[in-house]
Structure 1
Amino acid sequence: MKLDYLQALKRVNEARGAWVLHGQEPLLEQNLLDAFRQSWLINHVERERYDIQSVADWKNVFNALNSLSLFSQNLAIEVHGNIKPDTNALKLLKHYIQHNEHNLLLIIMPKQDSSSLKSAFFQIIEANGVVVPLTATYAQDRQRILSIEADKIGIQLSQDAWQWLEVHHEHNLLAAKNSLMRLADTFPDVQHLEMQHLLECLQDQSRYTTFDLSDALISGNLSQAIKIYQYLVEAGEPHSLVLWTVSKEMRLLMQLFEQPQNALQLGIWKTKVSLYQQALRRLNPKQFLTWPQLLLRIDAAIKGKNIENPEHLIQQAIAELCGKTLFA
């Protein structure tokens, strides 16, 4: 069968037979291995590790699985490598799966391509054991995983903060976890963290941040907004993070136009409600109809899906937020 990371975590204590973990997310691999090793320690399961350097090494693995020390009832063999068993070793694998219900063969491999996943080895494991892809493809999956990490250290993040954290780390789960730990250390007395906490803690101590860009956009200060944007680009901030900032402000203004009495419910800070209201009076609501398409064009340009220059498009969006136009 195939399980995702979170499903696998729940079944660690009952794992028997043959399991394969494969992927390129070090946080997920590290967490699962830690969970397995802790379970083995608590349940007095003997553990051995093998690093596969050649096909011949698989024979040693299966010899070990078929023998227990005098002091153990269960055995867990942890195998690391990217060399799959050959035909003879596959026979040993089948024999082990059919005749050994108490031990565990845990195989940790790097990310596998589609052809490898169709090989006889993976077909045998998936039909008789468990395959766990160490991936988190969707944003909601990454947030669920990181929420568990946040719970471990006793903090919670607002939705805006989660989105900013993901963009800031460009989907790197291990880096995001490290940032959560840094946040907990920086604000030990704060349990519910907002985006401003992340900006204070995680942004480099540079002259400008995306928080400054937001202030310039809502104030309608085009020259300052362009100046901050250019500084961020030169400082190495990814275009995706700048796009997130611009998109957030456009979204808030469009929502506030539709729901003028719900500023606080929309997530606008009480001290900044008047600034957003002034921005609405400065802007022509007809502009709002073009913003979603502009944001899609910027996103496509950043990802290389069109031939437009993302910097030019971002500057166009900045100008529109400030109530100006760069192009007729």
Structure 2
Amino acid sequence: MKLDYLQALKRVDEARGAWVLHGQEPLLEQNLVDTFRASWLKQDIERQRYDITSVSDWKTVFNALNSLSLFSSQLAIEVHGNIKPDANGLKELKKYLQHNEQNLLLVVMPKQDSSSLKTAFFQTIDANGVNVNLVANYPKDRQQILAVEAQKLGIQLANDAWQWLEQHHEHNLLAAKNSLMRVSDTFTDVAVIQIDHLHSCLQDQSRYTTFDLSDALLQGDFGQSVKIFQYLIASGEAMSLILWSISKEIRLLMQLFEQPQNALQLGIWKNKVSQYQQALRRLDPNSFLAWPSLLLRIDASIKGLGNENAEHLVFQAIAGLCGKPLFMAPTS
């Protein structure tokens, strides 16, 4: 079954079997994954996460899907990566889909090209699971998605204000959502947001974005990366969005290190491939070992779990990505 983003949002609570999310819209991926996690928490469904860095990792995933803890009746396995199961893995996937009706396998992948969507893996998902393409190619789709975000914030925009917002952000949904959040905080008593409200609120807020942070990190410019990070924090950027940008670059670098010939298949834009290759040449591969655990610590600190400071941990991640590690040594 194939669903779009809005259709998928409506079916999260009933999701079982195998779902695959893929695309190049970070806002849609983040929203949908967050909705799944909230749903699992509400339903007391045990959640486990795995990052796929090699085909052999799929064996661990399927072993986990077939084993529940003593305290759980349902399990959600969240998988991130761009490596599909091999022939043996596909057998395990089909077996799981035929015999396990309660658990959920949620696979989150970057944008897939047309040849990838024709592989046996996606054919199996189309026939027996749910395939969600996270795209918003048309203005009507983007406005519909952002209207949902505006509704969450309790604001309404005039029709011409929607057009201005989209043009201002050049179809970048994530940046547009951040602007909606700023407008909501600034004009708390305004019934309908007009262009003048957007302009006055956003004209001084477009200096840096999380995409600028990603570019600085890839270039290994530690000073500029810190400067952009500090600006984002000062301007009210959500820490979760900053983490998403950093974790995306870390994931792509680790995958490219494992698959140096598959940059485009990993979802790296053609004009960005050389930047990722240069970053890999600059970095010590041994530092990769510490990155996944550091990202988990940042995520936990953002959610208020533990006693660590999220901003301090993000500084560690920025330093590590720029090749200037502070406290990145792997711990046992």
Structure 1 length normalisation: TM-score? 0.62
Q: Could you list the runs of 5+ residues in structure 2 that have no partner in the other structure?
A: 207-332
Letter of the aligned partner of 2:7 in structure 1? Q
- The match for 1:64 is 64
Report how far residue 88 of structure 1 moved: 0.7
- The match for 1:27 is 27
C-alpha separation in 2, matches of 1:111 and 1:178: 23
Q: Could you list the runs of 5+ residues in structure 1 that have no partner in the other structure?
A: 207-328
- The match for 2:118 is 118
- The match for 2:157 is 157
* CA deviation profile, 1:242-270 (whole Å, cap 9, x unmatched): xxxxxxxxxxxxxxxxxxxxxxxxxxxxx
Report how far residue 201 of structure 1 moved: 1.3
* CA deviation profile, 1:71-99 (whole Å, cap 9, x unmatched): 11100000000000001100000000001
Letter of the aligned partner of 1:202 in structure 2? L
Tell me if 1:197 matches 2:197: yes
C-alpha separation in 2, matches of 1:106 and 1:182: 32
Letter of the aligned partner of 1:188 in structure 2? T
Larger radius of gyration: 1
Secondary structure, aligned partner of 2:2: coil
- The match for 2:98 is 98
Alignment map for 1:1-328 (pairs within 5 Å) = 1-204=1-204
Aligned-pair Cα RMSD in Å: 1.2
Letter of the aligned partner of 2:84 in structure 1? K
1:154/1:191 contact within 8 Å kept: no
Secondary structure, aligned partner of 2:47: strand
Aligned length: 206
Letter of the aligned partner of 1:176 in structure 2? A
* CA deviation profile, 1:302-327 (whole Å, cap 9, x unmatched): xxxxxxxxxxxxxxxxxxxxxxxxxx
- The match for 2:215 is none
Report how far residue 167 of structure 1 moved: 0.6
Report how far residue 191 of structure 1 moved: 2.4
Runs of 4+ in 1 over 6 A off after TM superposition: none
Residue identity (%): 76
C-alpha separation in 1, matches of 2:90 and 2:109: 17
Report how far residue 205 of structure 1 moved: 8.7
Letter of the aligned partner of 1:134 in structure 2? L
C-alpha separation in 1, matches of 2:172 and 2:45: 33
C-alpha separation in 1, matches of 2:191 and 2:34: 26
C-alpha separation in 2, matches of 1:199 and 1:60: 51
* CA deviation profile, 1:216-246 (whole Å, cap 9, x unmatched): xxxxxxxxxxxxxxxxxxxxxxxxxxxxxxx
